Amino acid sequence: GVSALAAAQRGRRGDSRADNPQGAGTMMGGPPPIPPSVAALVLEHADDFKLADSQRVVLESVRRAQDSANMPWRMKLDSLRPTRQPANGMGDLSQEQRDEIEARKTAIANVLEGMRETNAQARIRVMNVLNPDQQKRAASLEEDARKKAADDAKQHERSGPPAGGRGGRGRPPEG
């Protein structure tokens, strides 16, 4: 249902063209990698979807509206990236550093929650434009992107950002 969709889309960043370095990333309480939105994924694979011009117009409109609504949230999320790593690794943090990480994680959760409704509504609009076969394909692409973002987050926590310093970030989901 919508609640599962909203939870799945919490805080996505969307368009893969907007990749950003992760900095110190999730290990230090930084923002997680955010997969692209379903609108961005469908538009990126528009030829495979055999989109009608009318579908493409609606999807682009949804993506623009979502980007606009999420812009302040994305800027806030970007501002929450850690600026430094602890000198002796994560096992040797002061109480002040631990408190800072927890405060950052709470702030990130609040930002992601702020984006949730916009993202869920955009996803519904996108799916309403697609036929059943296109919906299945879009959901599959979306799940693959979600898994990749989760894998990137795990990789980053173990050894820093994925190759090239990128964290799999994109635009917030548009729908």
- Mean pLDDT per 10-residue run, the chain (175 residues)? 38 36 51 84 95 97 93 87 64 79 88 89 97 97 93 72 42 46
Sign of the alpha-carbon dihedral angle for 20, 21, 25, 26: positive
What's residue 85's pLDDT?
A: 63
**Residue 134 CB partners (closer than 8 Å, separation 6+):** 42, 49, 51
Residues 2 and 120: beta-carbon distance below 8 Å = yes
Concatenate the DSSP letters of all residues of the chain into one string.
Answer: -HHHHHHHHTT----GGG--B-TTTGGGTPPPP-PPPHHHHHHHTHHHHT--HHHHHHHHHHHHHHHHHHHHHHHHHHHTS-----TT-GGG--HHHHHHHHHHHHHHHHHHHHHHHHHHHHHHHHHHHS-HHHHHHHHHHHHHHHHHHHHHHHHHHHHSS-GGGB----PPP--
State CA 131 to chain mean position distance.
Answer: 25
Q: Which residues pair with 24 in a beta bridge?
A: none
pLDDT at 162: 45
17 vs 38: CA distance, rounded Å: 14
pLDDT for residue 128 = 98
